[in-house]
Chains A and B, each alone.
Chain A
Amino acid sequence: DVVMTQTPPSLSVAIGQSVSISCKSSQSLVYSDGKTYLHWLLQSPGRSPKRLIYQVSNLGSGVPDRFSGTGSQKDFTLKISRVEAEDLGVYYCAQTTHLYTFGAGTKLELK
């Protein structure tokens, strides 16, 4: 089974600060079609998850460009530039190359 290791488990930030979250996979996430099915989700308090980024670096519908994703093979990063209050919650990386696995989550809180 694919294991997704997400760090850090929590982040305390000030509004306007930039942050990065790391996600490492135990296996390459490149599928046989050449695409990499690594996604980033945000679960705001009391809400369902919402997809921010799909296939490493593609912004989801309506997602502001303060969010960006990079990486390849087994090593991925989500960057949030200029954090806003609405960005607070738990961030998850997820892979759908090999069935479906989630990282443990990174809780983003206000400093």
Chain B
Amino acid sequence: EVQLVESGGGLVQPGRSLKLSCAASGFTFSNYYMAWVRQAPTKGLEWVASITNSGGSTYYRDSVKGRFTISRDNAKSTLYLQMDSLRSEDTATYYCTSRGGAYWGQGTLVTVSS
């Protein structure tokens, strides 16, 4: 059974950092491009960042460039999102997903507030 399990969310003050993790199982993680997608409360889905299967290339939406870093450890089948200089508008549920959306995690809530 395919599983993506996110962790690391929580309440954080503006300007602080948080690191999300996504543990994958049930499929060959190293074969898949992966992505982080977020959903602000009552809003739609928004792509945040993507990474190639080797980790050699990364891509970001403009609003998070220079603040967020996506990475992966294929030996551990784990995807990461380092989030620095957090803003209130980053408040959302963050989902780990394979590119194209075949697999999704349950999401982890990040709340940025003082």
Chain A, residues 88-102, CB within 8 Å of chain B (1/0): the string is 001010101001111
A92 and B45 contacting across the interface, CB-CB below 8 Å: yes
Q: How far is the CB of B104 from chain A (nearest CB, A)?
A: 4
Q: Is the interface of B mostly helix, strand, loop or mixed?
A: strand
B104 and A50 contacting across the interface, CB-CB below 8 Å: yes
Residues in B with CB closer than 8 Å to A90 are 44
B47 and A49 contacting across the interface, CB-CB below 8 Å: no
B105 and A51 contacting across the interface, CB-CB below 8 Å: no
A49-B95, A94-B45, A105-B44 known; A60 vs B102 contact (CB < 8 Å): yes
Chain B interface residue count, Cβ-Cβ cutoff 8 angstroms: 18
A49-B95, A51-B101, A54-B102 known; A99 vs B44 contact (CB < 8 Å): no
Number of A-B contacts (CB under 8 A): 50
Q: Is A108 an interface residue (CB 8 A)?
A: no
A48-B95, A92-B44, A105-B44 known; A99 vs B101 contact (CB < 8 Å): no
Chain A, residues 37-51, CB within 8 Å of chain B (1/0): the string is 101010100001111
CB within 8 A of A96: which of B44, B95, B100, B104? B100
A48-B106, A49-B95 known; A101 vs B101 contact (CB < 8 Å): no
CB within 8 A of A99: which of B45, B50, B97? B50
Q: Is B35 an interface residue (CB 8 A)?
A: yes
Residues in B with CB closer than 8 Å to A49 are 45, 95, 97, 101, 104
Residues in A with CB closer than 8 Å to B105 are 48
**25 interchain pairs (CB within 8 A)?**
A39-B100, A39-B101, A41-B45, A41-B101, A48-B105, A48-B107, A49-B45, A50-B104, A51-B101, A51-B104, A54-B101, A60-B102, A90-B44, A92-B45, A94-B45, A94-B101, A96-B99, A96-B100, A99-B50, A99-B59, A100-B35, A100-B37, A100-B47, A103-B44, A104-B44
A residues with a Cβ closer than 8 A to B are: 37, 39, 41, 43, 48-51, 54, 60, 90, 92, 94, 96, 99-105
